[in-house]
C-alpha cells in the first residue's frame, strides 16, 4: 500500500528540483514524456538492430547454400531497415560478392560504390573499429571473388576511391607500430595453423606436432618482448593508433603468454575496453583463460578441455553459473555457447546436463590439467 500512496501523492504534489523550488506539473509531465519517448525509441532501435542481424544471417545462410540471388535480396532488405548500422559496410562487401556469384554485376557495383564511399566517410572515420579496417584496399585488390569485375570500367573508380580513403587513414595511424605489429599477427596465426595441421595429420604429441609447438612457443617469446615494450611505453594504444590488426595482435600475444604476463596486463586491457581501445569479447577470452590458470572457474565458457585419450577437445572447462552463461556472453558481444561449440567443435551445449557432469569435469580437469588451447 505504501507504493500506491506514493503514486497518489505524485498526482497532488510535484517533487522539487533540488534548488528549493517546485517543478510545475506541466514541466513534470513533459519530462516524463521525454523519458518515455526515449525508452520507446531505444526499444525500437534494438528491435530493428535485432531484425537487421537476423536478415544478415539469413543472407549468409542462403549464400552458403549457393542461393546467391536470394542472398543478395536478403542483404538489400537488411540495408533498408538498418541503413546506418555502423558495420553495415562489411555486409555490403559480402552482398557485392553474393551479387557477383548471382551474375548481377550492376547490383554488385551498387554495393561496392556504397562500400567504398562510406567505409571512411566523415561520419564513420572516428569509429575505432571502422578506422582499423583500412587494409580493405589491399584485400579488395587480391580478392579473387571480385576478379570478374576487373575488366569493367567501374572497377577503376572503386579502386581509386578506396586508395584515397586508405591514404587518409594512413595519415592518422602510427604506421611504424602498424608495420611492426601486423607481421607479428600473421606469424602468430601461421604458427598456430602449422601446429593444427600437424595435429590433424600426425596427432598431438607426435614428433611433427611437438616440433611445430616448439617453434610456435619460440615465436611467442619473441613477439611478447616487442608487445611488452609497446604496452609498457604506450599503454594500450587502440585501433585508431595501430589499426584493427595491430590491436588484435596485442590481445593475441597476451592471450598466448604465460599466467604471470596475463596477470600483469589484464587490468590494462580492462581499462582499454572501458576507453574503447580494446574489445570486450577479446577481453572475455583472456578473463576465462586466466581464471582457469588461477584455479577459478571461467565466466564465459570460451575455454575447452582436451582429452589426450580421445585425442580431441571434449568438454567445456569448469564454468560458473552455467544457466546464465549466454546472458554473460551476450553482454560482451559473444554469440551463444551453443553456436560457439557447434560451429568450432561440433559439440552441443546443455546447461542442465553440464551441471550434473560438473563434478566429473572438475575431476578430469584436475587430472589432465585442462589443456588450454594455445
Top-confidence residue, 222 or 21: 222
Using CA atoms, how far apart are residues 173 and 118, in angstroms rounded to an integer?
19
Using CA atoms, how far apart are residues 205 and 211, in angstroms rounded to an integer?
9
pLDDT tens per residue, range 98-149: 999 999 999 999 999 888 776 555 444 444 444 444 556 777 888 888 999 9
| The dihedral sign for the CA sequence 267, 193, 329, 124 | positive
Using CA atoms, how far apart are residues 230 and 234, in angstroms rounded to an integer?
6
Using CA atoms, how far apart are residues 13 and 19, in angstroms rounded to an integer?
16
pLDDT tens per residue, range 306-351: 877 777 778 999 999 999 999 999 999 888 999 999 888 889 999 9
Using CA atoms, how far apart are residues 56 and 71, in angstroms rounded to an integer?
9
**pLDDT over threshold 50, residue 12:** no
In-domain check, residue 217: yes
**Residue 197 and residue 137 share a domain:** no
List the CATH number of the domain containing 50.
1.25.40
In-domain check, residue 13: no
Provide mean pLDDT across the span 59-65.
Answer: 90
When divided into structural domains, the chain yields a total of: 3
Phi, psi of 367 (to 5 degrees): -70, -45
**Residue 159 and residue 69 share a domain:** yes
- Among 1-5, 42-46, 306-310, which is the least confidently predicted range? 1-5
pLDDT tens per residue, range 189-248: 999 999 999 988 998 889 999 999 999 999 999 999 999 999 999 999 988 888 888 999
In-domain check, residue 10: no
**Residue 160 and residue 177 share a domain:** no
What pLDDT, on the 0 to 100 scale, is given for residue 135?
A: 54
**Residue 180 and residue 253 share a domain:** yes
Q: Are 318 and 298 in contact (CB under 8 A)?
A: yes
The torsion defined by the Cα of 144, 146, 148 and 149, in degrees rounded to 10, comes to: -150
- Cell digits of residue 300: 564465459
Using CA atoms, how far apart are residues 180 and 182, in angstroms rounded to an integer?
6
Phi, psi of 372 (to 5 degrees): -95, 125
Question: What range does the domain containing 301 cover?
Answer: 296-374
**Residue 182 and residue 211 share a domain:** yes
In-domain check, residue 302: yes
**Residue 136 and residue 98 share a domain:** yes
Helix ranges (DSSP H) in 126-276: 128-131, 136-142, 153-170, 175-202, 207-234, 239-255, 259-275
What pLDDT, on the 0 to 100 scale, is given for residue 163?
A: 82
Task: Among 138, 170, 202, give the residue marking a domain's end.
Answer: 170
Provide mean pLDDT across the span 253-282.
Answer: 96
What pLDDT, on the 0 to 100 scale, is given for residue 25?
A: 53
Using CA atoms, how far apart are residues 17 and 23, in angstroms rounded to an integer?
6
Amino acid at each position: 500500500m505504501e507504493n500506491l500512496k506514493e503514486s497518489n501523492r505524485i498526482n497532488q504534489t510535484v517533487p522539487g528540483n533540488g534548488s528549493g523550488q517546485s517543478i510545475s506539473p506541466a514541466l513534470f509531465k513533459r519530462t516524463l514524456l521525454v523519458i518515455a519517448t526515449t525508452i520507446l525509441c531505444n526499444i525500437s532501435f534494438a528491435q530493428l538492430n535485432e531484425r537487421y542481424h537476423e536478415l544478415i544471417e539469413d543472407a549468409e545462410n542462403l549464400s552458403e547454400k549457393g542461393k546467391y540471388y536470394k542472398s543478395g535480396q536478403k542483404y538489400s532488405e537488411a540495408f533498408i531497415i538498418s541503413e546506418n548500422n555502423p558495420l553495415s559496410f562489411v555486409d555490403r562487401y559480402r552482398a557485392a560478392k553474393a551479387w557477383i556469384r548471382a551474375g548481377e554485376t550492376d547490383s554488385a557495383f551498387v554495393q561496392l560504390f556504397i562500400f567504398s564511399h562510406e567505409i571512411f566517410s566523415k561520419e564513420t572515420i572516428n569509429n575505432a573499429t571502422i578506422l582499423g579496417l583500412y587494409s580493405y584496399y589491399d584485400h579488395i585488390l587480391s580478392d579473387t571473388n571480385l576478379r570478374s569485375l576487373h575488366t569493367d570500367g567501374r572497377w577503376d573508380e572503386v579502386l581509386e576511391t578506396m586508395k584515397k580513403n586508405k591514404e587518409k587513414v594512413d595519415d592518422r595511424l602510427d604506421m611504424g607500430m602498424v608495420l611492426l605489429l601486423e607481421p607479428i599477427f600473421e606469424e602468430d596465426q601461421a604458427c598456430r595453423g602449422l601446429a593444427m595441421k600437424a595435429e590433424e595429420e600426425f596427432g598431438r604429441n607426435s614428433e611433427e606436432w611437438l616440433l611445430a609447438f616448439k617453434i610456435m612457443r619460440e615465436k611467442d617469446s619473441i613477439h611478447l618482448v616487442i608487445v611488452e615494450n609497446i604496452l609498457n611505453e604506450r599503454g594500450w594504444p587502440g585501433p585508431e593508433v595501430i589499426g584493427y590488426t595491430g590491436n588484435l595482435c596485442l590481445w593475441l600475444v597476451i592471450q598466448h603468454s604465460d599466467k604471470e604476463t596475463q596477470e600483469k596486463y589484464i587490468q590494462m586491457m580492462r581499462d582499454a575496453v572501458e576507453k574503447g581501445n580494446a574489445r570486450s569479447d577479446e577481453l572475455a577470452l583472456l578473463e576465462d583463460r586466466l581464471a582457469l590458470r588461477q584455479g577459478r572457474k571461467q565466466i564465459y565458457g570460451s575455454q575447452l578441455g582436451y582429452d589426450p585419450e580421445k585425442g580431441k577437445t571434449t568438454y567445456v572447462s569448469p564454468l560458473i553459473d552455467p544457466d546464465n552463461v549466454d546472458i554473460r556472453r551476450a553482454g560482451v558481444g559473444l554469440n551463444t555457447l551453443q553456436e560457439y561449440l557447434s560451429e568450432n567443435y561440433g559439440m552441443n551445449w546443455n546447461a542442465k546436463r553440464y551441471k550434473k557432469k560438473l563434478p566429473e569435469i572438475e575431476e578430469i580437469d584436475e587430472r589432465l590439467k585442462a589443456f588450454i588451447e594455445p
